[in-house]
């Protein structure tokens, strides 16, 4: 049972059948977009290759509001507790959970790629010059990274208050939000309540913007799938089929094996949780980006019974520190490149590479293509006789041909892993309403309209702004 004070119960939203049928549901039109995209990709590949602009526009619009959403929700979540020690306890447990899952994901990828060896006997196909040039650019970006101090100063700490918002640097926005939330928590209760209420109202306006942007999700899914099918074709996929199948199978083992056990220990079923977030999963399939669903998940997981303080801290932090799919990808892709180049890495070298990736994986963003740059950064930092600049460039250029498909696997695994993390940490900290959570798992329609509830609370909700926010002391 949750130890926090919950808002008064409200009548559940009507089911989909009472709201006009399945054709009014977002997930239905996303599926329509995906199917249409596959058809266009096969029948008109030239035209389909030009449709990448659709998911790019959608991702750009989502990125426009992601930083403000995180800033507002983190402040409201932490400051409404009114107790920094309690907030620190949630953050500490979340980071411990992230570290454990990162180690498991890296280790799982390492074991599977050594058993299957998808890169062994790989034909030495000269990469496309344009793709090789992109790979060299990725290496240059990756080389900008450094050690732990460089990560803290160059990636974590902001240089100005508005800079992270302008550059859309989510990790730095999170740091700013935590500092503002801590300062707000130190205010007198009456003043703190006014500040939290004002920021909460701003968050509702931003969620209204997100609700309008989500009408474009089916178009984004259509363009993303059409581009993938039309641009890649069948021949380029055949050469790397073993790596793709191995990667996706490993992600499935992690989700339905590792996370299944984690969820069972925490008292819920991972299959029901996946069903609860199927709308978001379908959006990721179309856009290959987990960032597109972050604002929706913030609202949906709170509606599912996790306290606002837990959701606002664990989910945004997980997008930088709990990238399970990216960790699996990093170890498998790194060893695939070595195997394809005829290199046999000793176990000691492999474990050293995993240790390095514990750090480099934390800098990966939730945007399509970030995994490739992170891989380049990891191999460039590792260096040595096994990974020369030339071998890294050639290896990444080869993998780049299927990175779009790998990116979907990374994004899906990352989002499912972070959704599980929120509910597990919430249960661990006593910040989860289990009765509401089980009801949402059994009937996902109860939380399907979480963003609509945020933006259309009605007159009663406006009057209720004087009440103590969820998670605050009574």
Evaluate if residue 91 carries a pLDDT over 90: no
Range among 2-6, 209-213, 234-238 rated most confident: 209-213
Cβ(194)–Cβ(257) under 8 Å? Answer: no
Counting every residue written for the chain, the total comes to 474
Q: How many Cβ atoms are within 10 Å of 15's Cβ, its own excluded?
A: 11
Higher-pLDDT residue of 415 and 29 is 415
Residue 287 has pLDDT above 80, yes or no: no
CB atoms within 10 A of CB 324: 31
Task: Give dist(CA 100, CA 372) in Å, integer.
Answer: 23
The pLDDT, as a whole number, for residue 138 is 58
The larger pLDDT score, comparing residue 365 to residue 406, is at: 406
Say whether 311 sits in a helix, a strand or coil.
helix
Which range among 78-87, 170-179, 197-206 shows the weakest confidence by mean pLDDT? 78-87
- DSSP per-residue letters across 361-408: GGG--SSTTHHHHHHHHHHHHH-TTT--HHHHHHHHHHHHTTHHHHHH
**Mean pLDDT across the stretch 304-323?**
85
Q: Assign residue 73 a region (left: φ > 0; alpha: ψ between -120 and 50; beta: otherwise).
A: alpha
Beta bridge partners of 306: 432
Provide the CATH number for the domain formed by 39-456 in this structure: 1.10.3860.10
In this predicted model, what pLDDT tens digit does every residue of 236-278 receive, in sequence order? 444 467 788 899 999 999 999 999 999 999 999 999 999 999 9
The pLDDT value given to residue 101:
93
Average pLDDT over residues 299-312: 89
Report CA torsion sign: 231, 237, 240, 245.
positive
Q: Per-residue pLDDT averaged across 156-173, rounded?
A: 80
What value does the CA radius of gyration of the chain take, rounded to a whole number of Å? Answer: 22
Structure confidence at residue 105 as a pLDDT band (50, 70, 90): very high
Distance in angstroms (rounded) separating the CA atoms of residues 210 and 455: 10
pLDDT tens per residue, range 135-144: 556 555 555 5
Nearest to 267 by CA among 417, 418, 426, 415: 426
SS3 466: helix
Rounded distance, CA 217 to CA 237, Å? Answer: 26
Q: Which residue has the tokens 């939203």?
A: 13
Burial string for 427-464 (b: 16+ CB within 10 Å, else e) reads bbbebbbbebbbebbeebbbbbbbbebbbeeeeebeee
Residue 25: count of CB within 10 angstroms of its CB: 16
How far apart (Å, rounded) are the C-alpha atoms in residues 56 and 166? 18
CB 314 within 8 Å of CB 421: yes
- CB-CB contact of 270 with 260 (8 Å): yes
Q: Residue 9: is its pLDDT beyond 50?
A: no
Is pLDDT above 60 for 81?
yes
Average pLDDT of the chain, as a whole number: 76
Name the residue among 275, 277, 237 with its Cα closest to residue 399.
Answer: 237
Residue whose tokens read 């977030």: 277
Backbone φ and ψ for 322, nearest 5 degrees, come out as -135, 60
Give the least confident one: 84-98, 128-142, 147-161.
128-142
- Retrieve residue 126's tokens: 């000269």
Burial category of 148 from C-beta neighbours within 10 Å (exposed 0-12, middle 13-18, buried 19 and up) = exposed
| DSSP 8-state secondary structure symbol assigned to residue 432 | B
Residue 42 CB neighbour total at 10 angstroms? 14
Residue 66: predicted pLDDT: 77
Closest CA to 6 of 80, 71, 69, 75: 80
Which of 452, 472, 474 minimizes the C-alpha distance to 76?
Answer: 472
The pLDDT value recorded for residue 205 is 86
Query: Which candidate, 91, 150, 171, places its Cα nearest to that of 367?
Result: 171
Closest by Cα among 339, 405, 333 to 373 = 333
């Amino acid at each position: 049972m949750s130890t926090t004070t919950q808002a008064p119960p409200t009548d559940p939203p009507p089911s989909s059948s009472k709201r006009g049928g399945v054709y009014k549901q977002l997930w239905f039109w996303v599926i329509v977009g995906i199917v249409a995209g596959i058809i266009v990709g096969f029948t008109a590949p030239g035209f389909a290759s030009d449709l990448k602009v659709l998911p790019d526009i959608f991702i750009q619009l989502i990125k426009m509001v992601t930083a403000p959403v995180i800033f507002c929700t983190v402040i409201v979540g932490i400051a409404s507790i009114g107790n920094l020690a309690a907030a620190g306890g949630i953050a500490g447990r979340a980071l411990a959970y992230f570290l454990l899952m990162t180690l498991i994901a890296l280790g799982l990828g390492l074991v599977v790629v050594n058993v299957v060896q998808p890169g062994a006997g790989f034909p030495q196909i000269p990469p496309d010059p344009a793709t090789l040039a992109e790979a060299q650019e990725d290496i240059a970006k990756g080389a900008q990274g450094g050690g732990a101090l460089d990560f803290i100063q160059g990636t974590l700490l902001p240089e100005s208050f508005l800079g992270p918002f302008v550059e859309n640097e989510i990790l730095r926005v999170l740091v700013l939000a935590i500092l503002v939330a801590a300062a707000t928590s130190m205010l007198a209760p009456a003043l703190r309540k006014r500040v939290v209420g004002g920021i909460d109202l701003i968050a509702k306006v931003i969620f209204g913007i997100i609700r309008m942007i989500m009408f474009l999700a089916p178009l984004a899914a259509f363009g993303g799938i059409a581009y993938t099918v039309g641009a890649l074709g069948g021949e380029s996929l055949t050469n790397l089929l073993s790596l793709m199948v191995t990667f996706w199978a490993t992600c499935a083992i992690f989700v339905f094996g590792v996370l299944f056990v984690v969820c069972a220990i925490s008292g819920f079923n991972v299959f029901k949780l996946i069903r609860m977030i199927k709308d978001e999963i379908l959006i990721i399939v179309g856009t290959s980006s987990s960032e597109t669903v972050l604002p929706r998940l913030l609202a949906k997981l709170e509606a599912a019974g996790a306290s606002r303080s837990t959701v606002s801290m664990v989910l945004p932090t997980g997008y930088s520190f709990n990238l399970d799919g990216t960790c699996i990808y990093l170890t498998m892709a790194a060893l695939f490149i070595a195997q394809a180049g005829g290199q046999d890495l000793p176990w000691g070298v492999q474990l050293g590479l995993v240790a390095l990736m514990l750090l480099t994986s934390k800098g990966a963003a939730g945007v399509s293509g970030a995994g490739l740059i992170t891989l380049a950064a990891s191999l460039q930092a590792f260096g040595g006789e096994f990974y020369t600049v030339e071998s890294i460039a050639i290896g990444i250029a080869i993998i780049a041909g299927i990175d779009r498909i790998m990116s979907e696997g990374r994004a899906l695994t990352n989002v499912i892993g972070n959704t599980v993390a929120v509910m597990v940490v919430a249960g661990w900290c006593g910040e989860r309403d289990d009765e509401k959570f089980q009801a949402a798992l059994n009937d996902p329609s109860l939380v399907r309209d979480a963003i609509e509830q945020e933006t259309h609370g009605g007159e009663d909700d406006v009057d209720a702004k004087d009440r103590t926010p969820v998670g605050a002391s009574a």
